[in-house]
Amino acid sequence: MKLKLQQKMNTKFMKSRLKAHLIAATILLGSLFAFTFKAAAQAQPVKNIVLVHGAFADGSGFKAVYNILTKKGYNVTVVQNPLTSLKDDVDAANRILDKQDGPTVLVGHSYGGTVITEAGNNSKVVTLVYIAAFMPDKGENTIKWVQSAPPAPENGILPPDDKGFVYYDKAKFHGGFAGDLSKAEADFMFASQGPTSVQCFVTPVAEAAWKTKPSYAIVATEDKSIVPDVKRTMYKRAGAKVTEVKGSHVIFISQPEAVAKVIIDAANGVK
């Protein structure tokens, strides 16, 4: 009787252990499947790209980069910043990001880097690209980095006017902003620049997206509007993958192939 009872207890114990092992194996396989699925999804190239311009410019400057990327099959959208406040510009970027049909690379030039640092927290954004751009941390604003090093003599950023808007000096625009473009191109850019509210530059970033998302950055080595070493400092702190390209502040216009390549690397997750 005792032997049968012991055998029955052993059988029940073995069944219980087997059930526990099966449950553990199921959980493990489920976790491995989820991890594999997530990794596979992340490995897929991103096809959506959103471009954000900076101050003293508008979205039309991205035309050459747009042409290169769309010919390669990317879905490219250009944000037109109102340049009335950092919040307004972030909201403009988010309106475009919310319309994307999947993972998106968010690209910013100059002050546009500050915009994407905030807007990059949008769930559609998987990677950030900074083109000769500011890359502030949480609690920092653009002006902090503008003032972090002596400006180049060619720099023509003027003090705010009586309405609180900032412009670029016409006499210095070609040399200080677009030195490797023709004078005719620089003249058009000057004529089409958007007035930029000082609020864009003094408002701090609430949350820096580069803290949680991979970032790529381009240093324009001949930049006279943002000191190259200032950019190097910001990019190094963020752990961005940095590419240095010889060109002016508007390198996305003068060197569109080099800029497009970095964006494509970001879309493909090239380390």
Closest CA to 178 of 110, 80, 115: 110
What value does the mean pLDDT take over residues 57-68?
96
pLDDT score, position 23? 55
CA 108 from chain centre, in angstroms, equals 6
Closest CA to 52 of 108, 125, 127: 108
Q: Please tell us whether the domain made up of 46-268 is placed in CATH 3.40.50.1820.
A: yes
pLDDT at 238 > cutoff 70: yes
pLDDT at 37 > cutoff 80: no
Which pLDDT tens digit goes with each residue over 73-124? 999 999 999 999 999 999 999 999 999 999 999 999 999 999 999 999 999 9
pLDDT score, position 213? 98
What value does the mean pLDDT take over residues 20-31?
51
How far is residue 227's CA from residue 222's CA, in Å, rounded to a whole number? 9
Which pLDDT tens digit goes with each residue over 126-166? 999 999 999 999 999 999 999 999 999 999 999 999 999 99
pLDDT score, position 271? 75
pLDDT at 42 > cutoff 70: no
How far is residue 150's CA from residue 62's CA, in Å, rounded to a whole number? 29
Token pair 């790209």 in the structure block, residue:
49
| Confidence band of 14 (pLDDT split at 50, 70, 90) | low
pLDDT score, position 67? 98
* Mean pLDDT of the chain, nearest integer: 89
pLDDT at 193 > cutoff 90: no
Tell me whether strands 215-220 and 104-109 are parallel, antiparallel or unpaired.
unpaired
How much is the pTM?
0.84
pLDDT at 1 > cutoff 70: no
For the chain, the straight-line distance linking the first and the last C-alpha, in angstroms and rounded, comes to 70
232: left (phi over 0), alpha (psi -120 to 50) or beta: alpha
Per-domain boundaries in the chain: 1-43, 46-268
What value does the mean pLDDT take over residues 185-197?
93
